Amino acid sequence: MKKSTIFQIIAVLALATILIVLVVIATKSDTSDNNTNSFKTEMQGRRGEGFGGNNQSTVTVTSTKNSDGTYTCTINKDGKVGKYTVTTAPIVIPVNTPGYSAQHSPSSYSSNELSTYLSNGFIYVYAGCRGRYNQNTEYKSGAPWGVTDLKAAIRYLRYNKDLIPADTEKIFTFGMSWGGAQSALVGVTGDSELYIDYLKSIGAAMIDKNGNTISDSVYGSMCWCPITNLDVADAAYEWNMGQYMSSGTRAEGTFTKSLSIDLAKAYGENVKNVDFTTVWAQGHTQAERTGNSSSNFINWVNECMN
């Protein structure tokens, strides 16, 4: 392998409260140090790609500081957070790509933002992926590269399954808007042959150390208001929001206001006869869960894991 996603494990140490960054492919594996350096160079060039953080609680990982400022992490095989152990913990991958943007792998993180997931025993993986535009023109952007990068991250997690404290078969993606669309695509295109050539072109992990094909399918995909049906997106937006606006391009007396109303009416024809009682098994407005998206997602993952 010449080019692939860089993986780092960031462990939250409750007692020491320090940030530990472990580059997985720099540990004992089938990958040489020379290839590791190559991965770093390529990922820095692509900017949108790369692996940001794999976070877990203190009881699953212990660490030793190295002379060069890095840390060597050792998995505590008896560790447990909530009901999950180092072999049963699910992996959750957020897809934060609003407006078709890239998701840059982070160099730091806020424990407050992740504590909800970590305290439930989840392994939180933030994988970089390309978006609509790429500042570095040496590497392609746009579809299907964002989904390809996420698939490469999933494959590399499984390539290193012996090094990662998690159940790499229980991977969940979640996102909203275009992130929801990409989460949906990851969910429905697991192991699709349509992505094979793209994955090979970026050096994604295709086989494990035993020569077995690595899967990029996920166990579950949570998708909030995903942008998936782009050919009617404008009409859907006007029906859902635009028709209720009265300023700017939707001010009274403008042709764009009339256009907004026409689009809203056209889309309304698509939904007026939908039997929401059948679709949702209850009234449409009653089908929405209460609470915030994070708690709903966590509850859903736990339900899937039962």
Centre a 10 Å sphere on the Cβ of residue 72 and count the other Cβ atoms it contains.
13
User: DSSP per residue over 220-260, as a string?
Assistant: EEEEES----GGGHHHHHHHHTGGG--SGGG-TT-HHHHHH
Q: Could you tell me the maximum CA-CA distance found in the chain, to the nearest angstrom?
A: 70
Q: Is residue 286 in a domain? A: no
Q: Provide the token pair at 235.
A: 């009409």
Q: Is residue 135 in a domain? A: yes
Q: Is residue 193 in a domain? A: yes
Instruction: Name the residue range of residue 235's domain.
Output: 231-273
CA-to-CA distance for 185 and 165, rounded, in angstroms? 26
CA-to-CA distance for 81 and 58, rounded, in angstroms? 9
Taking the chain, what is the end-to-end CA distance rounded to the nearest angstrom?
37
The answer on 219 and 134 residing in a single domain is yes
Q: Position of tokens 């009881």?
A: 59
Q: Is residue 284 in a domain? A: no
The answer on 202 and 99 residing in a single domain is yes
Q: Is residue 2 in a domain? A: no
The answer on 143 and 103 residing in a single domain is yes
CA-to-CA distance for 107 and 53, rounded, in angstroms? 8
The answer on 108 and 24 residing in a single domain is yes
Question: pLDDT tens digits for the chain (306 residues)?
Answer: 333 333 332 222 221 222 222 222 222 222 222 222 222 223 333 445 555 444 444 456 778 899 998 888 888 888 888 899 999 999 999 999 998 899 988 877 777 878 889 899 999 999 999 998 876 666 788 889 999 999 999 999 999 999 888 999 999 999 998 999 999 999 999 999 999 999 999 999 999 999 999 999 999 999 988 887 778 888 888 888 888 888 998 899 999 999 999 998 888 887 777 776 666 555 444 445 566 788 889 999 999 998
> Are the beta carbons of 149 and 4 closer than 8 angstroms?
no
pLDDT at 304: 93
Residues 6+ apart with CB under 8 A from 270: 232
Number of domains in the chain: 2
Q: Is residue 102 in a domain? A: yes
> Are the beta carbons of 183 and 171 closer than 8 angstroms?
no
Q: Is residue 170 in a domain? A: yes
The answer on 162 and 178 residing in a single domain is yes
pLDDT at 40: 28
71: number of CA atoms within 13 Å, CB side? 18
Residues 6+ apart with CB under 8 A from 107: 52
The answer on 267 and 202 residing in a single domain is no
Q: Provide the token pair at 170.
A: 């229980």
**pTM above threshold 0.85:** no
CA-to-CA distance for 20 and 12, rounded, in angstroms? 7
The answer on 106 and 236 residing in a single domain is no
The answer on 219 and 193 residing in a single domain is yes
The answer on 217 and 133 residing in a single domain is yes
The answer on 145 and 157 residing in a single domain is yes
The answer on 184 and 300 residing in a single domain is yes
pLDDT at 130: 93
The answer on 266 and 209 residing in a single domain is no
Q: Is residue 280 in a domain? A: no
Q: Which residues of 111-134 are buried (b: 16+ CB within 10 A; e: fewer)?
A: eeebeebbebbbbbbbbbbbbeeb
Tell me the chain's radius of gyration from C-alpha atoms. Answer: 22
> Are the beta carbons of 92 and 123 closer than 8 angstroms?
yes
CA-to-CA distance for 182 and 193, rounded, in angstroms? 17
CA-to-CA distance for 131 and 147, rounded, in angstroms? 9
Closest CA to 48 of 124, 107, 134: 134
